[in-house]
Amino acid sequence: MNTSFNLELSPGRTLTGKWNGRSYRVERALGEGANGKVYLVSREEGLYAMKIGADPVDLQSEANVLKVLSQGEGSFRRFLLDVDDLEHGGEAYPFYVMKYVKGRQVKDYLEARGSGWFPLVGLRLLQKLSELHEKGWIFGDLKKENILVSGYGDVELVDFGGVTPKGRAVKQFTEIYDRGYWNAGSRSADEAYDLFSFAILCINLCGRPKTSFDKQILPQNRSSELLLEEARKDPMLAEYMPFLEKAMTGGYTCSKEAQEEWKRMVYNRKRQAGGNGVSLGAASWIKAGFALSLLMFVGVLFYYS
Residue-wise pLDDT tens digits, 236-279: 999 999 999 999 999 999 999 999 999 999 888 767 765 443 34
Q: Is the pLDDT of residue 283 over 60?
A: no
**What integer best gives the mean pLDDT of the chain?**
87
- Cα–Cα distance measured from residue 222 to residue 219, given in angstroms and rounded to the nearest whole number: 5
3-state secondary structure of 147: strand
Nearest one of 261, 140, 137, 148 to 197, comparing CA atoms: 140
Indicate where the chain has its CATH 1.10.510.10 domain(s).
104-277
Indicate where the chain has its CATH 3.30.200.20 domain(s).
14-99
pLDDT at 282: 41
Residue-wise pLDDT tens digits, 60-119: 999 999 999 998 888 898 899 999 999 988 889 999 999 998 899 999 999 999 988 999
pLDDT at 213: 67
3-state secondary structure of 182: coil
Q: Give the Cα-Cα-Cα angle 76, 82, 87 (nearest 5 degrees).
A: 145
Q: Considering only the top CATH level, what class is 104-277?
A: mainly alpha
Q: Which fold has domain 14-99?
A: Phosphorylase Kinase; domain 1 (3.30.200)
pLDDT at 26: 98
Is residue 80 within 8 Å of 67, Cβ to Cβ? yes
Q: Rg for the chain (alpha carbons), in Å? A: 20
Residue-wise pLDDT tens digits, 165-206: 999 999 999 999 999 999 999 999 999 999 999 999 999 999
- Cα–Cα distance measured from residue 211 to residue 232, given in angstroms and rounded to the nearest whole number: 14
- Among residues 141, 159, 178, 190, the one annotated as catalytic is 141
- Cα–Cα distance measured from residue 273 to residue 271, given in angstroms and rounded to the nearest whole number: 6
Residue-wise pLDDT tens digits, 207-244: 876 545 656 788 899 999 999 998 999 999 999 999 99
The phi, psi pair for 26, rounded to 5°, reads: -75, 125
Taking the whole predicted model, whether its pTM rises above 0.75 is answered as yes
3-state secondary structure of 134: helix
Is residue 93 within 8 Å of 100, Cβ to Cβ? no
pLDDT at 288: 56
- Cα–Cα distance measured from residue 56 to residue 21, given in angstroms and rounded to the nearest whole number: 18
- 40 half-sphere exposure, CB direction, 13 A CA radius: 11
pLDDT at 96: 97
Q: pLDDT higher for 302 or 235?
A: 235
- Cα–Cα distance measured from residue 46 to residue 36, given in angstroms and rounded to the nearest whole number: 22
- Active-site annotation holds for 108: no
